Structure 1
Amino acid sequence: MYNFIIIFVFLIFGMVLQRVKSFPSHSYKLINNFVIYICLPALALYYIPKIHWDNRLLYPIGVAWIGFLFSYLFFSFLGNKFGWSKKLTGCLILTAGFGNTSFLGFPIIQALYGEEGLRMAILVDQPGTFVALSTFGILVATLYSSGSVNGIYIAKRILFFPPFIAFLVACLMNIFGFDFHQYIQLLLQKVGIAMTPLAMLSVGLQLQFDRRSKHLKFLGLGLFYKLFLTPALLYFLYVVVLNQNSKMIHVAIMEAAMAPMITACIIASSYGLKPRLSSMMIGFGIPISFVTLIFWYFIVEYL
């Protein structure tokens, strides 16, 4: 209950600050940088060395890759069928293809499933969402904006991104059975805890609503794919086809049901892929997801 209170208090606080004229309008960027460059690496370095590898871990890792692959196939097909512009198609592939598995996912999963659930959520986010976005996400953004690909640029973005470096270090620590001194672990844990209030504050500062936009029908399609089709696909594959039904699978499906990823929407905007639609995917997607997540929680826990 405490985590849910933190989520909504800081979300509302961010929305209030957004309307305070004297408050810096781009302050969320500083918060985002702290969460991405400090909190996320701290969580990776704290939890990943403690994970015992099991082939079942491929289920949470596969969430982002499966969701993005089918997003590419789904929107590419619709784009070709209805003659959409490349920028519109690329925007929907990116913004509907990646879930908010860290900023929203971590605090919500921790509130629902505790520390064990958070460890699984990190697997969804780090080797899943983050790596997929940093590689194929950037590739799609480049192809659908300019049509050319700079392999060196993509490689640099991946290899020199601090959370990815922390992820690699944490994986090596896990392989060699090494962990930090307990005092360093405590520090990493405390820094990681700050992610929940800061992430929700950032989300609140960025929420925007535009009810008169010409993009509303594409917004509805994108959110339908992200909030319903993606978790339904994962549920069908994991529970129905592979007959898996554990807490790990529940976490994986709940992460698949998260709202569109803020970073993916920012990348789409920065590459000129329908910036207004990209921001609407966040602005409408995040509050709507609080309702749809209740639906999916009922599905995975009681059916």
Structure 2
Amino acid sequence: MSALLLLLVCLALGAVVSRVARPPAGMVPALNWWVVNIALPALVLQLLPRVRFDPQLWFPPALMWLELLGAWLVMSLLGRALGWSRHRIGALVLVGGIGNTSFMGYPMLQALRGQEGLSLGVVADQVGSFAALATLGIVIASLHAGRKVTAAQLARRVFGFPPFLALLLAIMVGMAGGWPSMIDAMLHVIGSTLTPLALFSVGMQLQLRPQRHELLPAFVGLSWKMLLAPLAGLLLARLCGIHGTMLAASVLQAAMAPMITAAIIADQYGLEPPLANTMLGAGILLSLATIPLWNMALG
């Protein structure tokens, strides 16, 4: 309960500060830089060496990839039937297909499923959501924006991303038996800054001013992201014999609100930025209710 309260308080503080306190210019990018380049790698380095091999460990990241592929298929078919532009479809695929499995996912999983759920959430995020966004997501954005993307550009994005490098190092450390207690404690302190700063940053960026023409596509995209995709993931988990915390962490990550970075990429590629931001803000607010409901439904 205390972790969930921390989540709500930090989110609310960010929203209030951005509107009444006149924070310094560039505060959000500075917070995001620390979270992505320092706190997140530290958390990955601390948690991943503790994850023990499990034959079912393929499922959490695989579900994140399937969610994006499913969004691409569903939005393309619906978009053509409804006469939506290529740019709108691209925005719906990116923002509706990739979840906020780090900034929102980590603190929510820790609050609802404890340290074991958080460790599995890191696997789903790093090998699943991030890898999918950095590769297939960029390809989708390029195609729908009418641009070309090279293999060298993709490689630079992936191997120049500090959390991915931390992931590779954490795997090697885990194989070697883990960190000494002093280093583990240091990583824990640095990594613990991720939750309050990430949620504070998310709160500062919350915007919800939808236009009438955005309502239907936003509803379609969020319905896939927060209801249909996790429901399909739950059914797939049952078919594959996935159970326990593995099932819960995977489905909860699939049900998270849209990823902030996905909305940023949609903006960079000109894929209806207002629609992407509407989905982002509405998804974050809705997730405060839908994720606890999903958690209750999973038992």
TM-score (norm 2): 0.96
Q: Tell me how far 1:216 sits from its aligned partner.
A: 1.3
Matched ranges for 1:18-57 at <5 A: 18-20=18-20, 22-24=22-24, 26-57=26-57
Deviations 1:14-67 (A, max 9, x none): 010111263135421111111111111111111112222122111112121111
The residue number in structure 2 matching 1:237 is 236
Once residues 25 and 217 of structure 1 are traced to their aligned partners in structure 2, the CA distance between those partners, rounded to angstroms, is 34
Deviations 1:127-162 (A, max 9, x none): 111111111111111111124222211111111111
The residue number in structure 1 matching 2:168 is 168
- For the 8 Å contact 2:64–2:129, the answer to whether it is kept is yes
The residue number in structure 2 matching 1:209 is 208
- For the 8 Å contact 2:210–2:278, the answer to whether it is kept is no
Relative to structure 1, the CA distance from residue 122 to residue 227 in structure 2 (aligned partners, 3 Å threshold; closer, same or farther) is: same
Runs of 4+ in 1 over 3 A off after TM superposition: none
Q: Tell me how far 1:213 sits from its aligned partner.
A: 4.3
Further displaced range: 287-296 or 223-232? 287-296
Matched ranges for 1:99-138 at <5 A: 99-138=99-138
Residue 189 (1) aligns with residue 188 (2): yes
Could you tell me which runs of 5 or more consecutive residues in structure 2 were left unpaired when the two chains were aligned.
none
Question: What one-letter code is carried by the residue in structure 1 that aligns with 2:188?
Answer: Q
Relative to structure 1, the CA distance from residue 25 to residue 111 in structure 2 (aligned partners, 3 Å threshold; closer, same or farther) is: same
Deviations 1:193-234 (A, max 9, x none): 111101110110000011434211111111111110111110
Question: What one-letter code is carried by the residue in structure 2 that aligns with 1:281?
Answer: M
| 3-state SS in 2 of match to 1:101 | coil
Count of residues in Structure 1 that have an aligned counterpart in Structure 2: 299
- For the 8 Å contact 1:142–1:271, the answer to whether it is kept is yes
Question: What one-letter code is carried by the residue in structure 1 that aligns with 2:249?
Answer: V
Further displaced range: 136-145 or 243-252? 243-252
Residue 261 (1) aligns with residue 262 (2): no
Question: What one-letter code is carried by the residue in structure 2 that aligns with 1:169?
Answer: L
- For the 8 Å contact 1:18–1:25, the answer to whether it is kept is no
Q: Tell me how far 1:178 sits from its aligned partner.
A: 4.1
Further displaced range: 36-45 or 26-35? 26-35
Once residues 29 and 76 of structure 2 are traced to their aligned partners in structure 1, the CA distance between those partners, rounded to angstroms, is 31
Once residues 251 and 74 of structure 1 are traced to their aligned partners in structure 2, the CA distance between those partners, rounded to angstroms, is 24
Question: What one-letter code is carried by the residue in structure 2 that aligns with 1:136?
Answer: L
- For the 8 Å contact 2:56–2:242, the answer to whether it is kept is no
| 3-state SS in 1 of match to 2:213 | coil
Question: What one-letter code is carried by the residue in structure 2 that aligns with 1:300?
Answer: L
Q: Which of 245, 248, 252 in structure 2 is aligned with 1:247?
A: 245
Once residues 9 and 291 of structure 2 are traced to their aligned partners in structure 1, the CA distance between those partners, rounded to angstroms, is 18
| 3-state SS in 2 of match to 1:45 | helix
Question: What one-letter code is carried by the residue in structure 2 that aligns with 1:266?
Answer: I
Once residues 150 and 58 of structure 2 are traced to their aligned partners in structure 1, the CA distance between those partners, rounded to angstroms, is 30
Once residues 79 and 217 of structure 2 are traced to their aligned partners in structure 1, the CA distance between those partners, rounded to angstroms, is 11
Task: Percent identity, please.
Answer: 38
The residue number in structure 1 matching 2:58 is 58
Once residues 205 and 278 of structure 2 are traced to their aligned partners in structure 1, the CA distance between those partners, rounded to angstroms, is 10
The residue number in structure 2 matching 1:150 is 150
Further displaced range: 96-105 or 203-212? 203-212
The residue number in structure 2 matching 1:159 is 159
Q: Tell me how far 1:181 sits from its aligned partner.
A: 2.4
Once residues 203 and 112 of structure 2 are traced to their aligned partners in structure 1, the CA distance between those partners, rounded to angstroms, is 21
Q: RMSD of aligned C-alpha atoms?
A: 1.4
The residue number in structure 2 matching 1:227 is 226
